[in-house]
Amino acid sequence: MSFELFKELQKMLACLLLFVNDFYVSLLYDIMFNMYDLIIIGGGPAGVAAGVYAARKQLKTVFITEEIGGQSIVSEGIENWIGSPKIHGQELAKLFLAHLDAVKSDIITLAIHERVVSLEQTSEKLFSAKIKTGKEFTARAVLIVSGAGRRKLNIPGAEKFENKGVTYCASCDGPLFSGMDVVVIGGGNAGFETALQLLAYAKSVTLIHRHKDFKADPVTVEKARAHQNMHIIAPAEPTEIIGEQFVTGLKYSDKDTGETKELAVSGVFAEVGVIPNTGFAEKLVEMDTIKRIKVDPRNQRTSVEGIWAAGDCTDELYHQNNIAAGDGVKALEDIYLWIKKQ
């Protein structure tokens, strides 16, 4: 059946419902009107950018996400989003949602605060995404932009003292450590940005990184180093979080000397990487050893025809908000051309 014929059948069925009230006709109507051109799974920069372009290209799309904004929603100051010298993560998320609302019309269905639990290929040319409520959406194409979650520390004491001094969100918990000594584990942009946030509250901030060199942007590193209450220990490896009822310290190994040392702190803020949110598609598309979806960087296609992926859930070499947005648009352009050929 051609897509044009399918559209005509939808219109005919809608007219039929004006005159009959039959359970089976209603059921068929529900099935047909839950058919989409595209399912977008994820609400970060890649997903929102793709959603805006899907609306402009008049692709009937269901946009499924637990929240809008992606990982950066907890950032107090994003300084590399093009067009804005500095913006709070939550403010950026509001702009994302406002843009989607402005363009969605009746072509985009927003399913916010929903999570996809499974993705299946139901036929040669159709895919079905089931959300946690049990509802299913069917489409000819899928764009996975589900991002990644924060990786937990895997050292003794990390699980025991989670929410008792060990935390993974400076924006959420930073003010609770006002006037205290804290440590940040991680030498990427997230680690140094967390340190900069905490310097507004804490008595002192120590950052521990296992390498001498940092992955963070030099300008961010220098901004942190310039603060008198900022200390950096590198190369060093955290080995244990200690305490009684709450965290009282962190043990670490000095990688230059091999000595085990102890740092007296009340808070441990971990920024040790991310884990891709791809479990729902694990049996469908090809992934690498850490569960990132393998894509063709030219067009964001996955190993399965009809499924694309972009952003932090992929095996792309670089991951930034601006890159994710661009890859989302790239994927959407390819999806549009692919659908037109079907």
Per-residue pLDDT reduced to its tens digit, 43-91: 999 999 999 999 999 999 999 999 999 988 878 788 889 999 999 999 9
* Phi/psi of residue 88, nearest 5 degrees: -70, 145
Cα distance between residue 195 and residue 271, in whole Å:
10
For residues 81 and 179, membership in a common domain is answered with no
For residues 291 and 206, membership in a common domain is answered with no
Q: 10 Å Cβ neighbour count for 67?
A: 14
Output the pLDDT for position 157.
Answer: 98
For residues 74 and 208, membership in a common domain is answered with no
Write the CATH number for 284.
Answer: 3.50.50.60
Q: Cβ contacts of residue 233 below 8 Å, gap of 6+?
A: 206, 207, 208, 209, 252, 254, 263
11 domain-assigned: no
Contact criterion met (CB below 8 Å) for 275 and 148: yes
Name the pLDDT band for 227 (thresholds 50, 70, 90): very high
Residues found in the chain = 342
Looking at residues 263-283, what average pLDDT do you find? Answer: 96
Output the pLDDT for position 26.
Answer: 45
Output the pLDDT for position 32.
Answer: 57
For residues 138 and 87, membership in a common domain is answered with yes
Give CA torsion, residues 147, 150, 151, 152, to 10 deg. Answer: -150
For residues 336 and 286, membership in a common domain is answered with yes
Number of domains in the chain: 2
Contact criterion met (CB below 8 Å) for 185 and 191: yes
Cα-trace Rg, the chain: 24
Q: 10 Å Cβ neighbour count for 165?
A: 27
Strand-pairing partners, residue 149, are 275
Output the pLDDT for position 342.
Answer: 86
In which residue are the tokens 């963070």 written?
216
Q: Which residues are catalytic?
A: 169, 172-173
Percentage of residues in the chain having pLDDT higher than 70: 90
DSSP helix/strand/coil, 337: helix
Q: Which of 215, 247, 270 is the last residue of a domain?
A: 270
More confident residue, 75 or 42: 42
Tokens, residue 333: 């352009």
10 domain-assigned: no
Evaluate the omega torsion of the peptide bond into residue 235 and state whether it is cis, within 30 degrees of 0: yes
Give the model confidence (pLDDT) of 165-184 as tens digits. 999 988 888 999 999 999 99
Note down the domain range covering 196: 166-270
For residues 94 and 240, membership in a common domain is answered with no
Whether residue 19 is predicted with pLDDT greater than 60 in this model: the reply is: no
Name the pLDDT band for 210 (thresholds 50, 70, 90): very high
Looking at residues 323-331, what average pLDDT do you find? Answer: 98
How would you classify the pairing of strands 126-131 and 116-123?
Answer: antiparallel
Whether residue 95 is predicted with pLDDT greater than 80 in this model: the reply is: yes
Q: Which of 248, 270, 292 is the last residue of a domain?
A: 270
CA distances to 77, 85, 316, 318, 322 from 81, rounded to whole Å, are 10, 7, 19, 15, 6
Q: Which of 130, 137, 132, 98 is nearest to 113 (CA)?
A: 132
